[in-house]
Amino acid sequence: MKAILLYIILLFPLLSFSQRSEIQRIKQDTVLQLFLIHLDTTAFEAAESKPLSGKLLTDSLINIASSYIGDRYKRGGTTEKGFDCSGFTLVVFKHFGIKLPHTSAGQSLLGFEVPKKQIQKGDLLFFRSRSRRSKRIGHVGIVISEKGEPVRFIHSSTSSGVRIDNLEAEYYKKRFIKASRVLPSR
């Protein structure tokens, strides 16, 4: 942009009056556009620097999580090429500056436990591994429903990748261990 303005300034004396007027108008328009672009980016940067909180944070988190629906499961995965369950939650929360470990058991140690009746959007749900006798946490998902609604969650399942399920489905109901809140309070 500076090169164009320099070029215009150097050629300015060689041009006719009508050409000079046209260049002057273009130059003024360009300066105005650059100023407006600067204002736009300044406002955007100011908005970006303010941390999200409350309902806006949880809604944004769920929107990011939902954008991955249909992505495949990949053991150890943390990219759109494939996610495991904890890799999925790790990536979603990372968008908001919240660092989670890359294991469901490790994630279960963060935040604070929430009673089942108090589960709300953005909470993490933890499930035992596939073995019926195991008490070890082996799966994690993110709640997408509001408090008081039937609990639905988004997660990366081994069978069909990122999808939404209901906590009251027999398979998950039997395996549910606990819910934790890692997001700041609303």
Q: Provide the annotated active-site residues.
A: 85, 139, 155
Using only C-alpha atoms, the chain has a radius of gyration, in whole angstroms, of 26
| CA 110, 97, 153, 137 torsion-angle sign | negative
For residue 8, count other CB atoms closer than 10 A to its CB: 16
Partner residues linked to 82 by β-bridges: 79
Q: Buried b vs exposed e over 31-67: b needs ≥16 C-beta within 10 Å?
A: eeeeeeeeeeeeeeeeeeeeebeeeebbeebbebbee
CB 173 within 8 A of CB 165: no
Give start and end residues of each alpha helix (H) in the chain: 2-11, 17-49, 54-66, 85-94, 104-107, 170-175
